[in-house]
Each structure stands twice: as C-alpha cells, then as structure tokens.
Amino acid sequence: METRNLGRCGLKVSRLCLGTMTFGESRTFMKGATSNDEDARAVLDAALDAGIDFVDSANVYSEGRSEELLGEWLGARRQRVVLATKCRFAMGMKGGGPNDKGLSRRHVLEACEASLKRLRTDWIDLYQVHMQDGRTPIEETLRALDDLVRAGKVRYAGCSNYTGYRLAEAIGVSSSLGIHRYESQQIQWSLLVRDAERELVPAARAFGMGVLVWSPLARGFLSGKYRRGEAPPAGTRLAAWKDRWASFDKERHWKILDAVQEVAARHRTGSAPVALAWLLQKPEVTSIIVGARTPAQLRENVAAAELKLTPEDVQALDRASAPEWGYPYDFIGGFGEPW
C-alpha cells in the first residue's frame, strides 16, 4: 500500500489507517456497536496483511480496552506498526475527578504513562490531543507534549477536533517557544460533512500539517447499507444511535448517497470505496482512518486504495455534496480568490 509522509515530518504512514474505536466491549458511548476480542484480532491481522501498518486508538475507546487489545496483539509486530493514540477525555462511566480530564500538564503526562502501560510499549509514534481545551493555556499543553517527545516516550505530537484559530495559535506558540509542534490534525471529513474545508484543510496546507480523516463514511451512512424510507439494519451503528440516525435521514444526504452509488455502478464497486476514494484524491489527505468489525468489511475499504476516480466522477460528487459555505467564504470565493 502507498505511504505518505505525515505532513512535513519524516514519519511515513499508510494511506489507510485502521481505527480501533469499535474494539473491545464498551459500556459508554460505543455500547452496542463494538466487536469482541477475537474479531478485533482478526481485523488487526487482516489490516497488516493488506499493507495497513498505521493503527489509531484513544485511551477512552472501550474504556481502555481498545489499547489493551492492541498491546496484547502487537508483541513482535511493534516495529512494523505506526501506533497512534490520544488523550483528553475522562476514562470510564463516572468520569473521575477534576484532574482526570483536559489538557493540563498533569493529565497529559499521566494519560500518556497509562496508555504506554496498556499498549505494552515504550513509545507512541503519534500522540494526539483528542480535542482542544479552552480551560488550559496552550503553552502548558505544548510543553508537556514537548517533554514527552524529548523523553523518547512520544515520537510526534498531533491534535484533533480543533477550531482553525486555536490550531493557528498552537502552531505560532510552538514556533515562538522553539518546541515540538503539532505535526498532524485529525478531522471529521466526508462527502456528508465538508465543514473542515472552510478553515482546517487550508490550515493544513499553510502549515504543512498531515491530515488524518475520521468518520470518512459518515458513521457508515455512505457504506451503501442504508435505504431511503427504511429503518437502519439491525446491528449497525446507526440502528444503535437513533438520535444520530435522525440527523442523517435527510433528503440532502440521500441525494449525496445516490451520486455515490451512480459512480460506484460505473466502476462496478461498492459505495464505500467510492466515498473513500473521493477523499484519497484530496492532496491534503495523508491517511484515512477506516473502521471494521470484520475482515470482510476491511477488505471492502481497502479496495478504495486501488480505485481511481475520473475527473468527471469527482466533479459529480463535489456538486452533489457542496455545502453552503457561508460568510466570508462565499464572499471571498465570489471574487475568484481561494481561501
């Protein structure tokens, strides 16, 4: 599988990344939508066999069980795998105390040590903050991450779920302090959710950051398993998340899915590879995080790495999914200026 540098840094990662949010039984937000230990190990084996050597987790996934499963599976494979995980949120159902969440120096350092223990490794290749923390000075968070890099426990730092202005602030502070910066950002991006194209994608271009995409199939909506006017199939993620299903069951989204399926029919493939291939042709995208509960689901997603969309395909998908950009983007674009 093709690899790319993570932004401007020297770390190379596979174009598809295996996401492990569904690994291990969860009692919290992923309850009812996860895979058991045996299935998770089978998917990990299938991913490595397919050339996916980039794996993404987080300490809160299945209350730590996702990282534990990875640690049990890695063993001698550790040198072959680029390992990414995250910190920010409280662990468990009760949420712990006031210092058991956020991006304070205390919590970042403690969370990293706990993740290293669960992952059974001496280092994390990419350690990411899971969301910005407006209650902690950015200097405090960045210095804590810098210390982890200097100690050899973390190779590179990244962020996820930031606003554009906070991302620019973080890059500027890192430069002024002469410390390690965020080399990548992990963002939600799909044909259904293109909001990141307003600020975050241009920021990646401006600062030379890697872009890792989460939810590229919009919680599975773009996989092709859902039908207009029908309830979500039993056992699917959107069947378990009824409020989320209501937000997806909209005419605009069905029209986007229709366009995806038209392109898929021309290429004699499934909807998921088309939706993923649309993202892979974006020059800013370093790697797409794909989730799978079975090796068969993973193989369908891997097909996206080989699918080459035509310019006409891309234009059709762009038109069908074009959002209302709003001010000042429409105003600037009206003068032919990129933003």
Catalytic residue among 61, 156, 182, 226: 61
Backbone angles phi, psi at 209, to 5 degrees: -95, 145
The torsion region of residue 312 among left (phi > 0), alpha (psi -120 to 50) and beta comes to alpha
CA gap 122, 24 in Å, rounded: 22
CA gap 143, 145 in Å, rounded: 5
3-state helix, strand, coil in the chain (%, to 5): 45, 15, 40
CA gap 81, 76 in Å, rounded: 10
Q: Which tokens belong to 155?
A: 């190779």
CA gap 214, 96 in Å, rounded: 27
Q: Compute how many other C-beta atoms are within 10 angstroms of the C-beta atom of residue 338.
A: 7
Reply yes or no: is the peptide bond before residue 273 cis, omega within 30 of 0.
Answer: no
For strand 12-14 and strand 3-5, is the pairing parallel, antiparallel, or unpaired? antiparallel
CA distances from 162 to 58, 175, 182 (A): 16, 18, 11
Cα–chain center distance at 16: 10
Contact status, residue 228 vs residue 293, Cβ threshold 8 Å = no
Instruction: Tell the residue number behind the tokens 């662990």, with chain if given.
Output: 91
Does residue 127 carry a catalytic annotation? no
Q: Which element (helix H / strand E) includes 211?
A: strand 210-214
Contact status, residue 200 vs residue 171, Cβ threshold 8 Å = no
Give me the active site residues, please. 61
